[in-house]
Amino acid sequence: MNSSSISDHETSMQRCMELASRGRKNVGNGAMVGAVLVRENKIIAQDWHREFGSAHAESGLLNSFTGRIEPEDILYVNLEPCCHQGKTPPCTYAVISRGIKRVCFGMLDPDERVAGKGIETLRSAGIEVIGPIARASCEYFNRGYVSLRRTGRPWITIKEARTRSGMISHDDGSTLKITDEEQDVWSHTFLRSCHDGILVGVETIVRDNPFLNTRFAQRNDLTKVKNYQPWRIILDPSLRIPTSANVLMHSRGDTIVVTSDALSEGGRVAEDALHDWGVRVMQIPLREGSFAIPDILRLLSTPRDDFHGLSSLLVEGGERTWKGFRSSGFIDEMVSLIGA
Ligand SMILES: NC(=O)c1ccc[n+]([C@@H]2O[C@H](COP(=O)([O-])OP(=O)(O)OC[C@H]3O[C@@H](n4cnc5c(N)ncnc54)[C@H](OP(=O)(O)O)[C@@H]3O)[C@@H](O)[C@H]2O)c1
């Protein structure tokens, strides 16, 4: 491959990210990573980090590619290969031992166990290392992972829909449809499909009974990840969520209800029923009547049992829920959709 052209490198890096996005949510609080092996401008092997604890993309690719590695082959990967023994062996070992001679990477790994040492290890082994290529795109793509490693909390986006006069619902609190279909397609494609979880307060469930899925992106075939369902997280301190709520009727295993660790007798009965339905109920303390936002974020980003944590959260309302997040100061992005 006359491979030194930046556009070739960027195209291959883009492909790495497309593959990596297939692991969104399944990789838990880890990074989304894709890898491609390119020979004479053609991809001859590809893989991605499929789920929490599974082989990293480049190791998976090299384990399954049984062909000969040629000196001009380039291994592309959107995140610096790791060089430490974690849940899987170091990727640098797999790269060096398979005889790869050229590696192109997208961004340095902010995990302090790696942080440039993966690149150094490859260079010390005589491998030509090219990059970072498309660094800003790679960092934004993995902004949840970067946020967790740099700040210890997930990436947080607030999304609200308002009328031109600033209303989010009718005066009596009943549902007001604000966005049109084009806006719904956009937000399902670029917001919901790009976050690990969607979070709402229980009053929004009571009032609006949302599905909190990505149906508009799927319907228009705009998402590359089919049937993607982010975690649906409901803040519900006393478990008053209606049993007929859409988030409890469909895809229950993706629903997390965050509740108080000091439930009343009635609350405990409701908790047992939710457990029986396969809904995840997670408990934290109330502090002066509310959950502290850092407690919520720690709960949601920490792996436990078969929940592997999340790294990005879309906070969809309503007002009281937004207020809690705003006053915490933990907001990275804010999107206002203005309806007619
Ligand atoms: N236009 C939009 O973008 C949009 C989006 C969503 C909702 N809405 C509208 O917003 C209205 C609902 O908003 P809202 O402000 O009344 O309610 P909300 O934010 O949906 O839910 C508030 C409730 O959730 C629980 N909660 C939220 N944050 C908590 C925290 N930090 N700690 C503990 N519990 C917490 C509490 O439940 P308890 O009361 O049980 O303590 C709280 O009263 C509806 O009219 C809906 O149509 C509009």
Which H or E element spans position 157?
strand 155-163
Atom number, ligand 1, closest to the C-alpha of residue 159: 3
Distance 236 CA to ligand 1 centre (A): 9
Give the pLDDT score at 39.
92
pLDDT of residue 224: 66
DSSP characters for 306-330?
TB---SEEEEEE-HHHHHHHHHHT-
Domains and CATH numbers, the chain: 6-145 (3.40.140.10), 153-339 (3.40.430.10)
Distance between CA atoms of residues 262 and 173, nearest Å: 29
Q: How far is CA 229 from CA 96, 275, 299, in A?
A: 37, 20, 20
Compute the CA torsion angle 299, 214, 23, 248 (nearest 10 deg).
Answer: 50
Give the tens place of pLDDT for each residue, 204-258. 999 999 999 999 988 877 766 788 999 999 999 999 999 999 999 988 999 999 9
Smallest CA separation from ligand 1 atom 23, residue? 201
| Strand pairing report for 280-284 and 102-105 | unpaired
pLDDT at 335 over 70: yes
Task: Note the residue count of the chain.
Answer: 340
Is the distance from the beta carbon of residue 316 to the nearest atom of ligand 1 less than 6 Å?
yes
CA of 319 to the centre of ligand 1 (A): 6
Cα of 237 to ligand 1 centre, how many Å? 12
Q: Is 128 helix (H, G, I), strand (E, B) or coil?
A: strand
CA of 129 to the centre of ligand 1 (A): 50
Q: What is the pLDDT of residue 70?
A: 93
Residue 295: CB within 6 Å of ligand 1?
no
pLDDT at 3: 46
pTM higher than 0.85: yes
In this structure, are residues 39 and 72 in contact, taking their beta carbons and an 8 Å threshold? yes
Rg of the Cα atoms in the chain: 22
N-to-C CA span, the chain: 52
Tell the residue nearest (CA) to atom 13 of ligand 1.
318
Q: Which of 71-80, 82-91, 217-226 has the highest mean pLDDT?
A: 71-80
What pLDDT shows up at residue 89? 77
Q: What percent of the chain has pLDDT over 70?
A: 98
Q: How confident is the model at residue 88 (pLDDT cuts 50, 70, 90)?
A: confident
pLDDT digits (tens, 9 = 90+) for 115-163: 889 999 999 999 999 999 999 999 999 999 999 999 999 999 999 999 9
Tens-place pLDDT, residues 9-65: 999 999 999 999 999 999 999 999 999 999 998 999 999 999 998 889 999 999 999
Res. 5 pLDDT band, cuts 50 70 90: low
Tokens of 226: 């089919």
Which atom of ligand 1 is nearest to 161's Cα? 3
Which residue owns the Cα nearest ligand 1 atom 9? Answer: 318
Residue minimizing CA distance to atom 42 of ligand 1: 201
Q: Which of residues 172 and 256 earns the better pLDDT score?
A: 256
Catalytically active residues, by annotation: 58
Angle ∠(57,59,61) on CA atoms, nearest 5: 70
- pLDDT confidence band for 105 (50 / 70 / 90): very high
Segment 286-291 mean pLDDT? 96
Q: Identify the pLDDT of residue 36.
A: 96
- pLDDT for the residue 83: 85
What pLDDT, in 10s, does the model give residues 312-330? Answer: 999 998 999 999 999 999 9
Q: How many angstroms separate the CA atoms of 20 and 147, rounded?
A: 18
Strands 128-130 and 74-77 turn out to be unpaired
**Coil vs helix vs strand at 1:** coil
Of residues 258, 193, 239, the one with CA closest to residue 219: 193
